[in-house]
Amino acid sequence: MFTRTSPSNGPGSPRVDGFHDQATGSIMYVVSDPETGQAALIDVVRDFDTNAARLSSESADEVLDFVAREGFEVAWILDTHPHADHVMAQAYLKEKLGARTGIGAKVREIAALWRGIYHLPDALDPDRDFDHLFADGDSFRVGNLDVRVMLSPGHTLGSITYLVGDAAFVHDTFMHVDSGTTRADFPGGSSAELYASLMAILDLPDQTRLFVGHDYPPVGDREDPAWEASVAEHRARNTHIGGGVSEAEFRALRDARDATLSLPSQMLYALQMNLRGGRLPPQEADGHSYFKIPANKF
C-alpha cells in the first residue's frame, strides 16, 4: 500500500498520514495531534470481493497496525459520506478500538432515499448505527485540535468535510489538481450543489491543505498516487475548476463526463452496509446475511 505523511505545521496543525487503497483508489487517513497523540481515522476501507460477496480486512488492518506502532489513541472513527465504491470499515474498527463513530446528519435523508431503491421500508437506521451524526457547523476535538464540520453536498446530498486546523478532508469533491473533480450523478447528487461546495472549499485560506478521497494513477506523467494540494493550487490549476471556471462551464463538463461513467462495481452491495455503519444486513434463520440487489433500476 502506498503511504505518505504530511507533517504538522505547528500548534493547532495536524499530522496527516494517508494510505492509498489500490483496489478502489480510495485514500484512508489517520489525523493525529502531535501534542497529545490522539487521532481520528477518516474513510477507512473494508475490503470486499464482489465476485464472492466476501469481506476481509487487510486494508483496515494496515491502518490499525500503523496506529499501534505510533502509539496513537484513536478518539474518533469518521466517514465523510456513505461511499458507493467501497465498504466502510467503521463497525470493524469500532469493534477493535472502541472509539466513537461519526458521519453527516443528512445520512438520514440518504438512508430514506435508498430504502426506496432497495424496497426495504423498515431497514437502515443511521441513528442506531452511528454514534454521532454531525450537522453543518458542528465542532469537536481530537486532542488539542479543533475539528469543524462543513456540509459539502453534490457527490451525495449529505457529504461533509472535516476541517482540522490547516487541513481539510474534502472527500469526493475535488480530486488531485491534475484530475479535477468527482462525479455528481448518484441518487441525490447534483453538479450544481457540487459546484457550490467546491467554491466554499476554495474560500478557505490559501495555505489550507486539501486531502481528497480518491486517486487513480497513472495520470499524465505521474505514476504514484497523490492526494494533497493547497487551496491556492486548486484555485489556480485544478483541471476542472481552476482559473475561475463558471458554474455553467463546470456543470456542462461534469454532467457530460458523468453520463459516460458506469456504476462502481461495489455500489449496490456497499450502500446496504455503509448505511448500517459498515455492518452486514441482519442474519437470517440459517445464520447468514444476504444482500438485496435491485434489478433494472439503473
Q: Residue 290: inside a domain, yes or no?
A: no
Provide the residue range defining the domain that includes 176. 2-274
Q: CATH number, domain at 175?
A: 3.60.15.10
The pLDDT of residue 197 is 98
Please indicate, yes or no, if residue 287 is contained in any of the structural domains: no
With a pLDDT cut of 70, the percent of the chain lying above it is: 100
Residue with cell 502506498: 2
Angle, CA 82 vertex, CA 79 and CA 88 arms, to 5°: 60
Residue 259 has which C-alpha cell?
453520463
Q: What residues pair up with 100 in beta bridges, in sequence order?
A: 76
User: To which residue does cell 482559473 refer?
Assistant: 243
| Mean per-residue pLDDT, 15-29 | 97
Give CA 17 to chain center in angstroms. 15
CA distance 226 to 40: 21
Instruction: Classify residue 288: in a domain, yes or no.
Output: no
Is the residue at 266 inside a domain?
yes
What is Dmax (Cα atoms) for the chain?
58
What amino acid occupies position 223? E
CB 30 within 8 A of CB 72: yes
What is the secondary structure of 167-181 as a DSSP string? EEEEESSB--TTT-B
Sign, Cα dihedral of 66, 72, 76, 78: negative
Q: Considering the domain boundaries, does residue 250 fall inside one?
A: yes
Angle separating helix axes 191-202 and 247-258, nearest 10 degrees: 130
Q: Is 280 a member of any domain? A: no
Q: Cβ distance 161 to 173 under 8 Å? A: yes
Of the pLDDT bands very low, low, confident and very high (cuts 50, 70, 90), residue 148 is very high
Residue 9 lies in a domain: yes
What length is written for the chain?
298
Report the pLDDT averaged over residues 102-116: 97
**SS3 label, residue 99:** coil
Quote the pLDDT of residue 222: 92
- Asked if residue 221 has pLDDT above 90, the reply is no
Query: CB within 8 A of 226, min separation 6: which ones?
Result: 176, 178, 215, 217, 219
Residue 220, pLDDT score: 87
The count of domains in the chain is 1
pLDDT at site 237: 96
Residue 199: DSSP 8-state: H
Residue 284 lies in a domain: no
* pTM of the model as a whole: 0.97
- Collapsed DSSP state (helix, strand, coil) of residue 210: strand
pLDDT over threshold 90, residue 236: yes
Phi, psi dihedrals of residue 212, rounded to the nearest 5°: -90, 170
